[in-house]
Structure 1
Amino acid sequence: MAIASTVTMLSSEVGESIPPDTAHAVSVSLPTWKANVGYEEGEDWVLGKMKTGYPRFFVHKSIEAFANAIVSRHGSPDEKAFLFPSHPVASRCAEFMRKQVPSLVIGKSLRLVDLYPNSGLSNGKVESETMHVKPIISAVLFPRDHIKIAKTFWQHSGDGVSSRRAEYCHRAFDDGRLTIQNTTVPPTKGPRRYQKKESIDNSIQCEPGRAPDRKDYLQFVEERFGRNLDISLACNAKQAIRRRIAGALTANVDLHEALEMAKPSTRTEHVGGFSEHDVYLYPCGMSSIFNTHRVMMACRGEMKSISFGFPYIDTLKILEKWGPGCLFYGHGEPADLDDLERRCESGERFLALFCEFPGNPLLKTPDLRRIRTLANRYDFAVVVDETIGNFINVHVLPYADVVVSSLTKVFTGECNVMGGSSVLNPQSRYYSQLKHFMHEDYEDNYWPEDAIFMERNSRDFVSRIDRINKNAEAICETLRVSPIVKEVYYPKYSPTRVFYDDCRNTNGGYGGLLSVTFQTYLQAIAFFDRLETAKGPSLGTNFTLSSPYVILAHYGELDWSAQFGVEADLIRISVGLEDPGDLRSRVEQALVVARETTNDE
């Protein structure tokens, strides 16, 4: 079991990647309270030092460089570009921008540029028989003064290109191995438009139960930009990831051994018909949520959704900005379910209820039993984000129609690759509709190199969870006995523990995430600044990672979040694999400094 180097983690300066010197790191060092505020205020002393950032909020420098190169060659000085892994995804971005800014005209001020492997070129043009080849990169070009609108889609949908894909394809672009095709009208049907009988699909479609379409894509990826990785194993890596999520692969073995092992029963064997073929992979967790909502609307029609409990910020934004909106129950209390029941009894209809298990950052757990009962009675779907609980600790699929998760977090642990998953419940009343639509619409946009890193990182996932659970409980106990601590938020000590225990696996714990508030704001600042851990966005890392979460996630809406009990001085701690005695000592030292802090300072 690999344990992060505490010394290395603590060496980070403002703007340094976490882990340090990691090209595709998922987090960034904001080591003081002042640095976090400075980041939110857009102060140069922070932003000017940023080597990277959380990928959906900070456009990675390799992505930005590639986008600028495309604009330089195929655009104009007053344009910017955002990059996406496929034409349909780029089309959704263009359509979102057009709706937000009706003056943008697709094909003129709003353009899509598709880049293809150039094996089908003839005199610099795509030959007719390859006109429906799937592009490897699709760019949306637009007037630069609308960058905030494009960034909104990028952030909320999670469907932008990964930094590894951009880095790789930029080299191919410079080397003349990618060619361009402009598209003026974005499609609305999805990837099947590229799969006509006369078409050639150069993608590596690794969706459940489906073999790769062609070797062309693999050859393109494997050639000299391959970073010494056997990219042809990407589909096998994805299969291993899906098996691991399904619970059919728990051993810490290499990829070859994993695929040769006899297939054991899944963790959800009592959910009839479930298999790894009901697991779909996405470029990140938010992409799995965004696309699950999109698929639900396509299958069931555009109805309001329900956001139950205080959610991660982008989940709520998705439900509000795509479709007819949502009913938001930010407290996630039984009284909210009473209100929902009254609404349903009066005839209101809803698409789906989205919730986290448990919630972030208050670690409250929804009553899934009652939610499932209401859903069955009033015909709405249930989508559960199990990222924080994780499927080793909890088993929520029997209560959900779809379970989503961010693999970027504890599943990988290494903080160097993004990923997400969506799991369909075969017992769901909507399963046939969802499965049929996924067969027609699902795009495997998970970049092969990312999949290989994810598979390698997740091999010890099962063995890591137990240690993380125990470390987190130890930190909670240390905090709970301090007189300056106002509240410790953790599923084990929550009034909603009974709902968590309803879904807790026999040997499952309460996860690695906790939050803490203090008697005074200054004590919170002093504690955070003194706490010797890595400090930055994200969670689920193999090393302990802390942040003033509400400052980072809700800085522009602190009064709004406070009305749901989410206080501005809340500190979130994602506990890692370090020695428990050492972790407790670090927390105790920070508590001593915070206790000496007075309101006069």
Structure 2
Amino acid sequence: MNKNYFNHIPTGETLPVNNVHAVSVSMPYLQDVIDYELQTPEILETIKSGYPRFVLHPYLKQLGLYIKDKYKVSDDYEVVVLSSQKAVKLVSDKYYINNKLEVDEAFGVILVQKNTCQLQRVLSYIQHVGCNLSSRLAEKYLFDLGLIDSIHEEELEDESKAHDIIIDTLANAYNQPKDKVCLAPSGMNAIYSVVRGINSIQAHNGRTVLVQFGWLYLDTMNIVNHHYQESKVFPDILNLDLLEEYLKTDGLKVSAIVTEVPTNPLLKTVDIKRLRKLCDEYNIPLVIDTTFATPYNLNLEDYADIFVESLTKFACGNADVLMGAIILNKRNNLSHMTTEFFKHCDPVYIKDKQRLAYEIKDYKSRVKKVSSNTKALAAYFEKCSYIDKVFYCLNDENKDNYSQTMRDDNSLTGIISVTFNKPFKEVYDKLNFAKGPSLGTEFTLLMPYTYLAHWDLIQSEEGNKFLEEIGLPIDLLRISVGVEPIDEIINEFKKLEEF
């Protein structure tokens, strides 16, 4: 981002700007978001890229067309490119696709009939399990064929060092052996792999129910629903009494408990000591998504059996790499089953590793700067006349729970969510921060969370009632705080005092 800090970024521009591998896209007006959800022709023409699991990258589209022509595929079929042959088998087995295309390529290809409900189901499943093909792999393929003119210029770590740099950084941050860390092509692929691994290990023990504790990220819940016939959701992460009562009768049926620390987007934090005690009592593995916490803000080593992190977020910091990680805790009784958890992960393309290896060197310092800025911004919001509610990890409701695991007194997860006592559209449209999906960027990034994550619930009276029940406001702004000077960040928000 430029040093003027906060300027209007046109609709459809990549975030970060001028980066073909960006995982976010600019939606500066609330109407852009609404039009995107409605899939209007005008917005689809403007927004040509976005978060790779949700919006097919232009290079993947171009590659699909090339493969269709190269292998003379009938117009009755859609060519779908995947990260690997393993992904082809996964999707084909799930949806009984027999028309696999035998290709001699460094990626997977399946054919799905056009204009069928199966096509949408297949694309949704790929989104959920995160086995999308790397845009950098597609870029190199197209460039080598002469179908695109150039390769995006970016700083890359040496190919021979990249993998070890990432693994070493994560192993040190989580205080775990290097052989207990595995990379995946996305955070969702990491979660998918853990869910599959737990299912494989626990099913023969009669443990067939996976518990989702807290209202988790949408695709996490979708993965669970794909691979578990039985799952139990406890939306309120602060109400451990309900979970405890459930475990008294069905605790021996539970294969694992999956949670986020803190939750997205309301930044609630479970009483982690009590949750760990319950897991120990019923011998239940605890899986924690630490994407928001990062290993540098919270110390969860004594609580989680398995950590899952989306490296696309704070570890990358620049929103231009899609990658995830599984970290097994050496202290638990699952650590010897490394292969079972890691075997479901898809391979990660080397240039994605090279890019992340370059960026992850600043992971700790980036998180500490973001944490400091978040603390100052939260203090400012607490006194603002235009703010209705502020959600962050050290508010009164979560202070004791969050403090149990803080690395130091200055640690604060780099996300704040707020609601306003002014019209949401006017607030959203007025601010000149980058606005679009994703989080964890070095530049401050705003997202109208409920609009982008739960548009379907906004559209019905029943959905609105459900959002109210789980305490998720429709007009919620999630702020991923950046590393810009905090005075500049606060001054941009002060514009809201003017109307």
TM-score, normalised on structure 1? 0.77
Letter in 1 for 2:113: P
Letter in 2 for 1:24: H
Match status 1:481 vs 2:411: no
Provide Cα deviations, 1:452-509, integer angstroms capped at 9, x if missing partner: 0001111111111221112112222222212332110000114122111111113651
Match of 2:243 in 1: 340
Letter in 2 for 1:345: K
Give the whole-Å Cα distance in 2 for the aligned partners of 1:290 and 1:497. Answer: 31
Give the whole-Å Cα distance in 2 for the aligned partners of 1:88 and 1:494. Answer: 47
Match of 2:87 in 1: 89
Match of 1:182 in 2: none
Provide Cα deviations, 1:252-304, integer angstroms capped at 9, x if missing partner: xxxxxxxxxxxxxx653xxxxx3122111111111111111111111222712
Structure 1 stretches of 4+ moved >6 Å: 224-232
> How many residue pairs get matched?
485
Give the whole-Å Cα distance in 2 for the aligned partners of 1:504 and 1:539. Answer: 21
Query: What stretches of structure 2 of length at least 5 have no aligned partner?
Result: 459-463
Give the whole-Å Cα distance in 2 for the aligned partners of 1:320 and 1:140. Answer: 23
Match of 1:572 in 2: 478
Identity %: 27
What is the correspondence of 1:234-245 to structure 2 with a 5 Å cutoff? 234-245=159-170
Match of 1:382 among 261, 283, 286: 286
TM-score, normalised on structure 2? 0.92
Report the more deviating stretch, 291-300 or 4-13.
4-13
Q: CA 1:449–1:436 in 2, change beyond 3 Å: closer, same or farther?
A: closer
Q: CA 1:532–1:226 in 2, change beyond 3 Å: closer, same or farther?
A: closer
Give the whole-Å Cα distance in 2 for the aligned partners of 1:474 and 1:526. Answer: 24
Provide Cα deviations, 1:89-118, integer angstroms capped at 9, x if missing partner: 1111122223xxxxxxx33xx3243434xx
Residue 379 (structure 1) shift: 2.3
Match of 2:449 among 545, 549, 562: 549
Give the whole-Å Cα distance in 2 for the aligned partners of 1:500 and 1:326. Answer: 27
Q: CA 1:235–1:288 in 2, change beyond 3 Å: closer, same or farther?
A: farther
Match of 1:400 among 298, 301, 304: 304
Please give the secondary structure, in 2, of the residue aligned with 1:23.
Answer: coil
Q: CA 1:298–1:175 in 2, change beyond 3 Å: closer, same or farther?
A: farther
Provide Cα deviations, 1:402-432, integer angstroms capped at 9, x if missing partner: 1000110111111111111110011112222
Match status 1:137 vs 2:107: yes
What is the correspondence of 1:65-76 to structure 2 with a 5 Å cutoff? 65-74=62-71, 75-76=73-74
Give the whole-Å Cα distance in 1 for the aligned partners of 2:391 and 2:292. Answer: 13
Give the whole-Å Cα distance in 1 for the aligned partners of 2:16 and 2:210. Answer: 37
Match of 2:468 among 547, 559, 562: 562
What is the correspondence of 1:247-396 to structure 2 with a 5 Å cutoff? 247=172, 268=175, 274-301=176-203, 303-334=208-239, 337-348=240-251, 349-396=253-300
Match of 1:220 in 2: none
Please give the secondary structure, in 1, of the residue aligned with 2:474.
Answer: coil
Give the whole-Å Cα distance in 1 for the aligned partners of 2:221 and 2:152. Answer: 38
Residue 380 (structure 1) shift: 1.9
Match of 2:325 in 1: 421
Match of 1:162 in 2: 134
8 A contact 1:307–1:353 mirrored in 2: yes
Letter in 2 for 1:23: V
Provide Cα deviations, 1:126-147, integer angstroms capped at 9, x if missing partner: xxxxxxxxxx211111102232
Give the whole-Å Cα distance in 1 for the aligned partners of 2:298 and 2:267. Answer: 14
Residue 6 (structure 1) shift: 4.9
Match of 2:461 in 1: none
What is the correspondence of 1:202-213 to structure 2 with a 5 Å cutoff? none
The one of the two structures with greater contact order (alpha-carbon pairs below 8 A, sep at least 6) is 2
8 A contact 1:472–1:512 mirrored in 2: yes
Residue 388 (structure 1) shift: 0.6
8 A contact 1:478–1:587 mirrored in 2: no
Provide Cα deviations, 1:51-109, integer angstroms capped at 9, x if missing partner: 311111001010111112212232210111222222121111122223xxxxxxx33xx
Give the whole-Å Cα distance in 1 for the aligned partners of 2:322 and 2:153. Answer: 20
Q: CA 1:23–1:374 in 2, change beyond 3 Å: closer, same or farther?
A: same
8 A contact 1:364–1:494 mirrored in 2: no
Give the whole-Å Cα distance in 2 for the aligned partners of 1:443 and 1:225. Answer: 31
Q: CA 1:235–1:372 in 2, change beyond 3 Å: closer, same or farther?
A: farther
Q: CA 1:86–1:576 in 2, change beyond 3 Å: closer, same or farther?
A: same
8 A contact 2:130–2:188 mirrored in 1: yes
Q: CA 1:581–1:380 in 2, change beyond 3 Å: closer, same or farther?
A: same
Q: CA 1:370–1:61 in 2, change beyond 3 Å: closer, same or farther?
A: same
Letter in 2 for 1:344: L
Task: Give the structure with higher Rg (CA).
Answer: 1
Q: CA 1:165–1:298 in 2, change beyond 3 Å: closer, same or farther?
A: same
Please give the secondary structure, in 2, of the residue aligned with 1:392.
Answer: helix
Match status 1:115 vs 2:104: yes
8 A contact 1:533–1:544 mirrored in 2: yes
Report the more deviating stretch, 363-372 or 234-243.
234-243
Provide Cα deviations, 1:374-407, integer angstroms capped at 9, x if missing partner: 1111122111001111111111132111100011
Match of 2:58 in 1: 61
Letter in 2 for 1:304: V
Q: CA 1:319–1:380 in 2, change beyond 3 Å: closer, same or farther?
A: same
Please give the secondary structure, in 1, of the residue aligned with 2:302.
Answer: helix
Please give the secondary structure, in 1, of the residue aligned with 2:361.
Answer: helix
Give the whole-Å Cα distance in 2 for the aligned partners of 1:342 and 1:228. Answer: 56
Please give the secondary structure, in 1, of the residue aligned with 2:133.
Answer: coil
Letter in 1 for 2:102: V
Give the whole-Å Cα distance in 2 for the aligned partners of 1:285 and 1:556. Answer: 24
8 A contact 1:392–1:508 mirrored in 2: no
